[in-house]
Chains A and B, each alone.
Chain A
Amino acid sequence: MQQHGQEYTRPRDYHLQGTIRKTHRIEDATIGIQETLSGAVDLRGYGLIGLALPDLDNCSLGFQVSDIEAGTYVPLCNAGGVPVAVIVGTGDRVIATEDLGMLAAYRWVKVEASKAQNAIRTLHFIVKG
C-alpha cells in the first residue's frame, strides 16, 4: 500500500523529468552582398547544432569564433591546424548535426563563405541545449 501511494503521487511523465534539451531555437547569421563573412551569432548554451542554408553562390563554409561578442574572431581549425570547411555547393540544404560538432563548445560564431555572395544570405542555426 505504501508502494502504491508513492506511485500515485509520482507524475505520469516521471521519466521525462530532469533537464531535457530545449529545442527549436533559431539564430540567424546573415552574409551581406559581396561579402563572405556573416555577423556574429550567439549559440549560448546550446550543444547540438544544425545549420539550414538558403541558395548560395557556390562555395564552402568555414567558421570564426570568439570568446566574447566584440572580441577577436579567429578561424576554427582541426587538430592539424587546418581551418575546418563544410562543402555546401549552391546551398538549399541543411547540414548534418554531427558534421557541425566542431562548433559545439563555442558561443560566438561567424560563418565565412569561400566566395563573396551576390545577394544577402541568411543562414539559420537551429540549436538544442
Chain B
Amino acid sequence: MLQWQHEYWRPRDYELQGTIRKTHVVPCIITISEDDDDSAAVDLRGYGLVGLIVPTIDAADLTFYMSETEAGTYRLLTDGAGAAVTMTTGAGALALDTTALAGLSAYRWVKIHTSEVQTADRTFNFILKG
C-alpha cells in the first residue's frame, strides 16, 4: 500500500525530472602590471564542461597551468604524449571548442599562459556547465 501511494503521487513525467546543469561565466584576467603573460588563478569548481572566450590579444598561443589548490604549485597541462596542451589563438577574438578543452575538465584551479607578452590587460571568459 505504501508502495502504491508512492506511485500515485509520482508526477507522470517523473523520468524526465531532474536538474539541468548549472552554468557560469568566470573571468580570467591577465593584469600586465602584475604579470604580462600569466593570468590570475581561476576556480573551475565542479564544472565539467569548459569553454573559453578569448578576447583580442597580442598574437599568442595559449597553454594552461593547473593546481590542486589555489595557493599550490601550478604545473603545465600536457597530453598523454607529454606535449603541452596548446591552443593556437592568433590575435584572439574567438571561442574555443569544448572538446579541445576537455583536458581541463577534471581540474579546479587554472591559470592561462600566453606565449607572447601582452601589452594591455586581457580578460578571458571561461564558460562553464556543471
Which residues of A are in contact with B by a Cβ distance under 8 Å?
8-9, 11-13, 16, 18-24, 44-47, 64-68, 74-81, 83-84, 101-107, 129
Contact = CB atoms under 8 A, between A and B. Distances in A.
B127 A105 contact: yes
Given A12-B6, A45-B130, A76-B97, A105 B20 contact: no
Interface in B77-130: 85-90, 93-101, 125, 127-130
Interface string B45-57: 0000111011000
9 contacts: A45-B129, A47-B49, A67-B53, A67-B127, A78-B100, A102-B100, A104-B98, A104-B99, A107-B127
Interface in B25-80: 25, 49-51, 53-54
Given A22-B16, A65-B127, A78-B96, 4 more contacts: A46-B129, A67-B125, A105-B49, A105-B51
Give the one of B16, B99, B130 with max A CB within 10 A: B99
A10 to B, nearest CB: 9
A66 B53 contact: yes
A64 B25 CA distance: 17
B20 A129 contact: yes
Nearest to B53: A67
A42 to B, nearest CB: 10
Contacts of A22: 16-20
Interface of B: 2-3, 6-7, 14-23, 25, 49-51, 53-54, 85-90, 93-101, 125, 127-130
A20 B25 CA distance: 24
Contact of A45 (B7, B21, B97): B21
Contact of A67 (B22, B25, B87, B88): B25
Contacts of A104: 49, 51, 98-99, 129
A129 B127 contact: no
A106 B88 contact: no
Contacts of B93: 74
B90 A47 contact: no
Nearest to A128: B20
A33 B99 CA distance: 32
Nearest to B89: A81
Give the one of B7, B89, B129, B130 with max A CB within 10 A: B129
Contacts of A47: 21, 49, 129
